[in-house]
Amino acid sequence: MANLVVHTVAMEQPLVPNAPSPVGAWATAAGLGALAVVATWLANRVIVGSFADAPRPEDLLFEALPYVRGARWLTVVALVGGLGAFLWVTLRSSPSRIPAVGARIAVMYLIRALLIVLTPLAPAHGEGIFVFPQPQFGMFPSGHTALAAMLALLAPADRPWLRWFEWAMVGVMIAGLLLARGHYSIDIAGGLLLAYFVATVRTRGGSSRRGASPTLG
């Protein structure tokens, strides 16, 4: 009888998954990050080697908006500002979230590496490099936009000012990409959708928590 009671109580207790150790969390994030870098490099090699003459489609917003060469630096401002603010707040409030957030960003870039090969287009900027000497290949979806949007979506719910700031950086990023012809408008839309999917995918335990610490699983 005692064994039956113990067994019954054990069955009634909720199954709570063991939280990963800090070392395991960092190892997972680093491994996924390395895979994302390799996958992106391989995808770029495929595009360069097999689609050297990829088409440059017309874009309605490019026709409506002026070309502003200097606007390319807005993308740098958005990335530095968004990442800097996010890391500053997270390191001060909940540094244990950083590996989980990094893992999600790596997953986003892994998915992007697969998608850019499916739609190989010529770079949207037709006047040489965009910001850095390395030519950018792979347009859809926009990794710049996806990263900025993920920082906004993953900002802690108890830091509304940070979430508003990150969304402002998303706006700066989009403006810079469109005005300087960094990405086609469809790339930007795809980046927003990719970020939403990865940031809000169901977490371990069955809930979808944008503001909570994300846990892959």
Taking the model in full, what pTM does it have? 0.81
Residue 171 maps to a domain: yes
Residue 64 maps to a domain: yes
Nearest Cα neighbor of 88 from 155, 143, 145 is: 155
Q: How many domains does the chain have?
A: 1
Residue 125 maps to a domain: no
Residue 27 maps to a domain: no
Residue 159 maps to a domain: yes
Burial of 130 from C-beta contacts in 10 A (0-12 / 13-18 / 19+): buried
Of the pLDDT bands very low, low, confident and very high (cuts 50, 70, 90), residue 3 is low
| pLDDT 10s digits, 53-101 | 777 888 999 999 999 988 989 999 999 999 999 999 999 999 999 999 9
d(CA 131, CA 114): 24
- Please give the residue range of the domain that contains residue 193: 55-98+133-200
| pLDDT 10s digits, 85-143 | 999 999 999 999 999 999 999 999 999 999 999 888 888 875 544 555 555 567 899 99
Looking at per-residue confidence, does 9 or 142 come out higher?
142
Residue 83 maps to a domain: yes
Give the list of residues 6+ apart from residue 177 with CB closer than 8 angstroms, or none. 75, 142, 144, 145, 183, 187, 188
Residue 157 maps to a domain: yes
